[in-house]
């Protein structure tokens, strides 16, 4: 049976047991729909993003991304990216701003998203792109 087809409580319990008992880790986040798990290896002191597969007799983890203990944020971002989460940014600019861009001006904005994440946006003329 695929992990996606299991009853949600059972799937969560089995993944948690796999991580904690078999891999000496700590479960951080499990998404049953995508069969992705974010966990911390206590043995190797790293964060890991894996896909959960149903093997012949037990659950197995494959297709891993490994992150240094100082990169927990990067691990979470990788988990979200592999889940298919996207950031959509809409920038409203005036005709005057468009003309300024055509004349070579750059624009930088920083704003707080609905999820309390700071987002930096830069619109840079292509002639300046090589300098970044």
Q: Answer whether residue 129 shows pLDDT above 60.
A: no
Does pTM surpass 0.75?
Answer: no
Tell me: the pLDDT tens digits for 68-115?
A: 999 999 999 999 999 998 877 777 788 888 888 888 888 887 877 777
Rounded Cα distance between 8 and 3, Å, is: 9
Structure tokens at 27: 């479960």
Q: Answer whether residue 130 shows pLDDT above 60.
A: no
* Residue 111 confidence (pLDDT): 77
Rounded Cα distance between 70 and 93, Å, is: 38
What is the three-state SS of 41-98?
ECCCCEEEEEEEEECCCCEEEEEEEEECHHHHHHHHHHHHHHHCCCCCCCCCCCHHHH
Tell me: the pLDDT tens digits for 13-72?
A: 999 999 999 999 999 999 999 999 999 999 999 999 999 998 888 899 999 999 999 999
Average pLDDT for 111-121: 76
DSSP, collapsed to helix, strand or coil, labels residue 23 as coil
């Amino acid at each position: 049976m695929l992990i996606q087809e299991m009853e949600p409580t059972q799937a969560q319990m089995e993944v948690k047991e796999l991580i904690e008992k078999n891999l000496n880790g700590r479960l951080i986040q499990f998404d049953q729909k995508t069969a992705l798990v974010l966990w911390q290896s206590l043995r190797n002191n790293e964060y890991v993003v894996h896909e959960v597969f149903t093997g012949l007799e037990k659950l197995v983890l494959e297709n891993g991304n490994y992150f240094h203990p100082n990169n927990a944020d990067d691990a979470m971002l990788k988990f979200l990216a592999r889940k298919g989460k996207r950031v959509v940014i809409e920038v409203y600019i005036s005709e005057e701003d468009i003309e300024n861009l055509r004349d070579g001006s750059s624009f930088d904005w920083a704003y707080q998203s609905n999820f309390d994440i700071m987002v930096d946006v830069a619109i840079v003329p292509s002639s300046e792109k090589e300098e970044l």
